[in-house]
């Protein structure tokens, strides 16, 4: 397994490509858009996507993201899904990915990196597939609509108004939206609000301000919707994210110290490999 720390600016995409290794894509911050097998979807920092060998795909971001790519050899990925899969990232898996990225390229005399790899593979085998990714269209008209709503989820225009904007009837818009994304525009906007809530709360925005930015009529309405979809309140979610962020920072600082001592003791430490611009 090879791990790469990568970043991508807003509204940028790596060119569509295919490779001979399995790939796991996980955003540490921001959200990623993944296009594969004729469909596109957006994943939040709570999720990752598994991309098996041989599938043409493209990764990008609407607002920019910092992410990790895990490249897994064919011979050890046999027990993992044969199709692209979105799955939830547990705190343990997140910590393991962070650790693997930090030690990538360092000398591994005692086999520590190999043990981290085994644990990551075990976590990937146990990960539960999710049907919670945000579908993303490929039709240019629908892309324009979704990009506008993503930039301003409080936009209250109804399907009839959007139809006029896009030069089609409300019925045609509804039919095309359902056919391409597998859900109604109303359901998609609900899921979009959840994604934006995760993004805003994770970025430090308060609950009330997040509710207003998303277009909810009141904070209580937002809290109810968030709890219904996420199983916990926004404040509980923010506390868990803060704890995970502090734990990650502590692990990183501890590892930096270990790496520095190891480098002084052995006199050599391989540098991390720079991410290629095409994302492969």
Q: Residue 82's pLDDT is what?
A: 85
Asked if residue 191 and residue 91 are part of one domain, the reply reads no
Q: Residue 267's pLDDT is what?
A: 33
Q: Residue 269's pLDDT is what?
A: 29
In the chain the first and final C-alpha atoms are separated, in Å, by: 14
Residue 58 belongs to some domain of the structure: yes
Which residues are paired to 79 by β-bridges?
A: none
Q: How far apart are CA 41 and CA 86, in angstroms?
A: 9
The reply to whether the predicted model has a pTM over 0.95 is: no
Q: Residue 39's pLDDT is what?
A: 73
What does the pLDDT profile of the chain (280 residues) look like in tens digits?
A: 999 998 989 878 888 888 889 999 998 888 888 888 767 777 877 789 999 998 889 898 877 889 999 999 988 877 788 888 889 898 899 999 999 999 998 888 899 999 999 999 999 999 888 765 678 888 889 988 998 998 899 998 999 999 999 999 999 999 999 998 889 999 999 888 887 887 777 667 889 999 999 999 999 999 999 888 878 888 887 776 665 555 544 554 454 444 443 333 333 323 233 333 344 3
Please, what is the Cα angle at 166 between 160 and 168, to 5 degrees? Answer: 60
Asked if residue 195 and residue 176 are part of one domain, the reply reads no
Could you tell me the residue range of the domain that residue 162 belongs to?
137-182
Q: How far apart are CA 159 and CA 142, in angstroms?
A: 12
Which residues are paired to 24 by β-bridges?
A: 50, 70
DSSP code at position 95: H
Asked if residue 54 and residue 12 are part of one domain, the reply reads yes
* DSSP state string for 189-206: HHHHHHHHHHHHHHTT--
Q: Residue 11's pLDDT is what?
A: 79
**Residue whose structure tokens are 């994943």:** 43
Asked if residue 47 and residue 78 are part of one domain, the reply reads yes
Q: How many domains does the chain have?
A: 3
């Amino acid at each position: 397994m090879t791990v790469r720390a990568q970043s991508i600016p807003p509204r940028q995409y790596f060119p569509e490509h295919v490779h001979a290794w399995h790939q796991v894509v996980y955003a540490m911050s921001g959200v990623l858009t993944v296009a594969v097998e004729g469909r596109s979807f957006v994943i939040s920092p709570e999720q990752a996507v598994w991309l098996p060998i041989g599938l043409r795909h493209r990764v990008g971001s609407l607002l920019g993201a910092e992410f990790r790519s895990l490249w897994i050899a064919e011979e050890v990925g046999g027990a993992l899904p044969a199709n692209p899969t979105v799955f939830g990232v547990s705190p343990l898996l997140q910590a393991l990915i962070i650790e693997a990225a930090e030690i990538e390229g360092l000398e591994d005399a005692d086999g520590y990196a190999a043990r981290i790899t085994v644990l990551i593979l075990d976590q990937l085998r146990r990960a539960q597939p999710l049907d919670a990714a945000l579908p993303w269209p490929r039709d240019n008209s629908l892309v324009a609509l979704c990009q506008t709503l993503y930039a301003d989820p409080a936009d209250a225009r109804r399907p009839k108004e959007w139809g006029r904007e896009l030069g089609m009837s409300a019925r045609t818009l509804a039919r095309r939206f359902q056919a391409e994304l597998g859900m109604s525009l109303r359901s998609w906007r609900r899921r979009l609000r959840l994604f934006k809530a995760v993004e805003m709360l994770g970025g430090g925005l308060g609950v009330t301000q997040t509710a207003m930015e998303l277009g909810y009529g009141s904070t209580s309405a937002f809290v109810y919707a968030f709890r219904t979809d996420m199983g916990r309140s926004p404040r509980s979610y923010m506390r868990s994210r803060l704890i995970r962020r502090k734990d990650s920072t502590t692990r990183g600082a501890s590892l930096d110290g270990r790496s520095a001592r190891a480098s002084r003791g052995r006199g050599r430490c391989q540098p991390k490999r720079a991410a290629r611009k095409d994302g492969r």
